Amino acid sequence: MRSRLLFPAAFFMILDFFKQEFINLRLQKLNYKHMLQRIQTIFLALAFIISLGIYIWPIAIFPTESNDLIFTVRGFLSDSGEVITLLYPFLILSGIISFLILYQLFSFKKRIRQIQTGKAIIILLVIWYGVGVTHIYNYFQNFEILLTIKPHITLFIPPVLIILILFANKYIRKDEELVRSVDRIR
């Protein structure tokens, strides 16, 4: 009779032991993954470094009869570097984008906020193109000038940033799902 009572108790003790070991194994795997380096951190750091290129290189060069106009984040410049028109909204928008990428990088303990910040950055990068085209149109008063544009590498930075932010958000979402699944097991 006593052996019948011990068997279920021993069975449940062994079951609890394996369940606890499974949870510990999942937690160790999670810590190991974070210990190495989260891949989304690499994507976000790379995105921040690339976003600084917006301030360094010109966006486009517009050839005119007298001289070439250089379109940068700061505004339109002449060949000699003389500022023709300042574009504060464009400069401020670029600064906000760089700041938000840095904020997303360092808010790694708040994964949901990271994902939301990434979505906001993507929207701002699309707006960045719209603001740029608006400033070009306001300066030249026609879209035909876009046919003579000499694009520079900076013109292609926002799509690269969008791709890097999307990859980072994908891996942040995977981390969040892993943490939630471990919490459900507990």
Residue 184 lies in a domain: no
**Within this chain, do residues 10 and 44 fall inside the same structural domain, yes or no?**
no
> At 180, is the pLDDT very low, low, confident or very high (cuts 50, 70, 90)?
confident
- % of the chain residues with pLDDT over 70: 76
**Within this chain, do residues 9 and 59 fall inside the same structural domain, yes or no?**
no
Highest mean pLDDT among 6-10, 13-17, 46-50, 104-108: 46-50
**Within this chain, do residues 124 and 143 fall inside the same structural domain, yes or no?**
yes
**Within this chain, do residues 55 and 4 fall inside the same structural domain, yes or no?**
no
Are 53 and 155 spatial neighbours (Cβ–Cβ below 8 Å)?
no
Residue 186 lies in a domain: no
**Within this chain, do residues 7 and 69 fall inside the same structural domain, yes or no?**
no
Domain with 119, as residue range(s), is 39-178
- Candidates 115, 98, 103; CA nearest to 48 is 98
DSSP secondary structure letter of residue 156: G
Residue 114 lies in a domain: yes
Q: From CA 13, how far away is CA 5, in angstroms rounded? A: 13
